[in-house]
Amino acid sequence: MGDFVNLPASSADAPRRVPGHLAIILDGNGRWATKRGKPRSFGHIAGARTLIRALGWFAERGIQHVTVYAFSTENWKRPAREVASLMRLFSTLLRHNLDILVKNKIRLRISGRRGDLPPKIQKAVAEAERITAGFDRQLIVCVSYGGRAEIIDAVNAAVARGEKVTEESFQNLLYVPDVPDPDLVIRTGGEKRTSNFLLWESAYAEYCFIDALWPDFSERDLDDALSDYASRNRRKGGIA
Ligand code: FPP
């Protein structure tokens, strides 16, 4: 679901299947900074720069929806200094990089327990979502997000309504219910686990684990992952 055949990047390339929805676990910012003898916040800033650069690569390849795991429900347990620096970074990105989203015609959406965020950030998020609401291509940023939390929040919403759920009605209770399931999940930073990311939505996603730390993620890494994805035989429980 969600796949479509993209136009070739150059006449030498054959058309290939690209994921309609790409999800990324942005891992490795802290290690990237530590390797350079810098504070972890330095790695997060470098990671944000990489994400901004990558938005152009995704658009050029015709990827319609991108979800990034920026801050998990568990990340609140990090040292207060690191949490504060990440919140400052989100705030700065929302205030100073909206023009990049508008220029690339990208709709920004936040997925997660947004009520956990400082009120000023909640306001900036709502404003950014309003300004970009008319665009089709989407960037979904998971902040204070946990796959289990999302499922629990959906279950509680169903219970509050006294409803018995089906797969379809449950989907409608998720944070961004109208976004198709991810086709491909990339995790950078060398770890091979899902870390509570899109537990419901990734039921049939393909996974690609990349050793590069997120700030070093390159256009080449993306193309390698996309080539790997294009070669997978997606049966989703059916037969080839
Ligand atoms: C995981 O690396 C990364 C994060 C917890 C933060 C990700 C945030 C950004 C890339 C900034 C972009 C911001 C937005 C709003 C999209 P880690 O710190 O766990 O790295 P480590 O595994 O090396 O310690």
**Spatial separation of the C-alpha atoms in residues 87 and 143, rounded to whole Å:** 10
- CA 171 to ligand 1 centroid distance, Å: 27
**Spatial separation of the C-alpha atoms in residues 207 and 219, rounded to whole Å:** 18
Whether the CB of 189 sits within 6 Å of ligand 1: yes
Angle at 101 between CA 56 and CA 119, to 5 degrees: 135
> Which listed residue (27, 181, 183, 221) is catalytic?
27
Q: What is the pLDDT of residue 237?
A: 74
- For residue 151, being part of any structural domain is answered with yes
Pocket of ligand 1, candidates 44, 51, 69: which has the most ligand atoms within 8 Å of its Cβ, to mutate?
Answer: 44
Count of structural domains, the chain: 1
- For residue 239, being part of any structural domain is answered with no
- For residue 8, being part of any structural domain is answered with no
- CA 233 to ligand 1 centroid distance, Å: 31
- For residue 209, being part of any structural domain is answered with yes
**Spatial separation of the C-alpha atoms in residues 49 and 44, rounded to whole Å:** 9
Residue 78 three-state SS: coil
| DSSP 8-state assignment for residue 237 | T
Asked if 156 is an active-site residue, the reply is no
Instruction: Quote the domain boundaries for residue 28.
Output: 21-230
Specify whether the CB–CB gap between 138 and 179 falls below 8 A.
yes
Asked if 75 is an active-site residue, the reply is yes
- For residue 4, being part of any structural domain is answered with no
Specify whether the CB–CB gap between 107 and 131 falls below 8 A.
no
- For residue 13, being part of any structural domain is answered with no
- For residue 10, being part of any structural domain is answered with no
Q: How many CB atoms lie within 10 A of CB 23?
A: 26
Q: Which CATH number do you get for residue 178? A: 3.40.1180.10
The one-digit pLDDT tens for each residue of the chain (240 residues) are 344 444 444 444 455 799 999 999 999 999 999 999 999 999 999 999 999 999 999 999 999 999 999 999 999 999 999 999 999 999 999 999 899 999 999 999 999 999 999 999 999 999 999 999 999 999 999 999 999 999 999 999 999 999 899 999 999 999 999 999 999 999 999 999 999 999 999 999 999 999 999 999 999 999 999 999 999 987 777 776
- For residue 109, being part of any structural domain is answered with yes
Strands 137-145 and 106-111: parallel
| Atom of ligand 1 minimally distant from the CA of 94 | 15
Residue 154 three-state SS: helix
Specify whether the CB–CB gap between 21 and 183 falls below 8 A.
yes
**Between the CA of residue 218 and those of 10, 15, 67, 204, what are the distances in Å?**
19, 21, 17, 26
- CA 202 to ligand 1 centroid distance, Å: 20
